[in-house]
Structure 1
Amino acid sequence: MKKPLLVLILSVTLLLSACSSSSGGLFKDGVVEFIDSEYRLYDTVNSATDSDNFSEIYIAENKSLTEVASDIISYQQPSEESELKDGKQVLVYDNLFVILTEDEENQDNTYIEVANDKFVRNNYNPSFFNGLFVLWVLDDLLDVDDWSKNRNLKCQKDPSYCYGGYGTSGGSFKGKNSKPTIRSGSSPVRGGGPGAGK
């Protein structure tokens, strides 16, 4: 009698954990859970250096960048918050970058990119962060001495491996000349995105 009850409890527990892990974006944790529940998953962008890593792009329709930033910050205070400049702002949470950019085609909309620090370190063009952070803050956040200087050298050698952010690149950054995975619905994305390997 006790054995079937134990089996039933274990089965229900496994079923519940499978259901909870199958919804939403790449991972569910704190601020990303909030973003995933509030905004529509719109696209993903592949890393140029690691095929298992990519960022997630959400879209906030009919919401300004300042409104979106305020909502996210109200939910969870970032460890670092950049200036708002040229339609861009960055919020940093424990090795996670939340990058807000205005939709250049429709300024009523805001893109929300969620990327782990590895994606930012290995793909972003340092010029994207001009005026947002002082250089030593980026070095500290990305745990690399002279990240901007070293990354600029790589970008000069091969500009196609330097991502200018979703708002400016429009998702055209392909990394290794492959198309980014387009997710225009609410389908979950699996793989090595922002929370992989944590």
Structure 2
Amino acid sequence: MTKKPWLTGLVAAVLFLSACGSLIQAEDYVEDNYAFVNAIQSDAGDNSRAMMYRSDKDIEGTIAELSDIQEPEQIGEKVEGRQVMVYDKEFIILTEDPDNPGSTLVEVAEDEFVRNHYNPGFFTGMFFGAFIGNRFGSGWSQSQATRCARGGCYSGGGGYSSIPSSTTGGRGSGFRGGGPGVGK
């Protein structure tokens, strides 16, 4: 019987990969398994973005499902119907879907998008100590709060606290998308 070295190599590779655990990332799982809702592109010149999806599970079920796929670095406390999972290069922000009870809006936002567009107050009560300050730098909270006071900060779930332009109609709603600087 002739040995096939490629078959031995293939079996070794499969065993090695299965020993490494799941290779799928939470972000990829969300993209492949949840309904796409909206894409939000940064207007800060950094090419960062956030992608919005809908899970048919509640927040707790969605967190359990995503944690099984990829363990987050940190999971924030649930506050006012929203909770945050923090990964190496992105945040996954979960919000109770106001239009579909029992469903969850799942926003996958790159670190730079969160740094440049989120109001620091959004994270109040979710994380202990200086987690956000350590992630974005000790002065981020104060400088971002000052910037947000002038308007234009993102409030998660596709909504903005205010936009300093003449096309602000409807921007205060709980779910609205299009991205920073994009009128609807």
Q: Same fold (TM over 0.5)?
A: yes
Question: Residue by residue, what CA displacement relative to the aligned partner does 1:69-114 show, whole Å, maximum 9, x if unpaired?
Answer: 1100111110111111211111111121111111122222101100
| CA shift in 2, pair 1:165/1:59, >3 Å | same
What CA distance in whole angstroms lies between the structure 1 residues aligned with 2:62 and 2:43? 28
Q: What displacement does 1:145 show? A: 1.5
Q: Which residues of 2 match residues 147-166 of structure 1 at below 5 A?
A: 147-156=140-149, 158-159=150-151, 161-166=152-157
Give deviations 1:147-184, integer Å, cap 9, x for gaps: 1111101111x21x2001116541246422x248xxxx
Change (3 A) 1:29 1:141: farther
Q: Which amino acid aligns with 2:157?
A: Y
Larger RCO, structures 1/2 (Cα 8 Å, 6+ apart): 1
**Any conservation in 1 of the 2:24–2:69 contact (CA below 8 Å)?**
no
Give the aligned residue type for 1:95: K
Query: Is 1:55 matched up with 2:37?
Result: no
Q: Is the 8 A contact 2:158 2:177 kept in 1?
A: no
Match of 2:180 in 1: 175
Where does structure 2 lack aligned partners over 5 or more consecutive residues? Answer: 1-22, 160-173
Q: Which has the higher helix share?
A: 1
CA distance change for structure 1 residues 108 and 134 in 2, over 3 Å: closer, same or farther?
same
Matching residue's letter, 1:145: S
Q: How many equivalent pairs are there?
A: 148
Are 2:91 and 2:111, in contact at CA under 8 Å, matched by a contact in 1? yes
Q: Which residue of the other structure, out of 55, 75, 82, is the alignment partner of 1:81?
A: 75
Name 1:98's counterpart in structure 2.
Answer: 92
Percent identity between matched residues is 29
In 1, distance between residues paired with 2:140 and 2:129? 8
Q: Tell me the TM-score normalized by structure 2.
A: 0.73
Measure, in 1, the Cα distance between the counterparts of 2:148 and 2:52.
23
The residue correspondences of 1:183-194 to structure 2 (distance < 5 A) are: none
SS of the residue 1:115 aligns to: strand
Mapping for residues 75-154 of structure 1, pairs under 5 Å = 75-134=69-128, 136-142=130-136, 144-154=137-147
Contact 1:45 1:171 in 2 (8 A): no
Larger Rg belongs to: 2
TM-score by length of 1: 0.68
Matching residue of 2:35: 40
Report runs of 4+ in structure 1 exceeding 2 Å deviation.
50-53, 171-174
CA root-mean-square deviation: 2.1
Q: Unaligned stretches of 5+ in structure 1?
A: 1-27, 181-198
